[in-house]
Amino acid sequence: MKENATFRLAAVLYDPSQGGDVDDLLLSLVKALRKRNVRVAGAVQLNGPAESGPCSEMVLEDLASGRRVRISQNRGPLARGCRLDNSALEEVAGLTRASVGEGVDCVIINKFSKTEADGGGLRQAIEAAVLADIPVVVGLNSTQRSAWETFSGGATAWLPRDEAVILGWLEDTMRHAARSAAS
Cβ–Cβ contacts within 10 Å for residue 179, how many? 9
Give the Cα separation of 84 and 71 in Å (integer): 6
The reported pLDDT for the residue numbered 25 is 94
How many domains is the chain built from? 1
Beta strands in 39-142 (DSSP E): 40-47, 58-62, 68-70, 106-112, 136-141
The reported pLDDT for the residue numbered 58 is 86
CATH code for position 77: 3.40.50.300
- Scored b (16 or more CB within 10 A) or e, 119-149 reads eebbbbbbebbbeeebbbbbbbbeebeebbe
Domain containing 44 equals 4-182
Give the Cα separation of 90 and 51 in Å (integer): 23
Model-level pTM?
0.88
Tens digit of pLDDT at every position of the chain (183 positions)? 234 445 799 999 998 777 667 999 999 999 999 999 999 999 999 877 655 555 677 899 999 999 999 998 766 666 565 678 889 999 999 999 999 988 999 999 999 989 999 999 999 999 999 999 999 999 998 999 999 999 999 899 999 999 999 999 999 999 887 777 776
Give the Cα separation of 78 and 126 in Å (integer): 36
Choose among 99, 4, 70, 172: nearest CA to 109: 99
**Cβ-based neighbours of 10, under 8 Å, separated by 6 or more:** 4, 135, 136, 137, 138, 156, 157, 158, 159, 166, 169, 170, 173
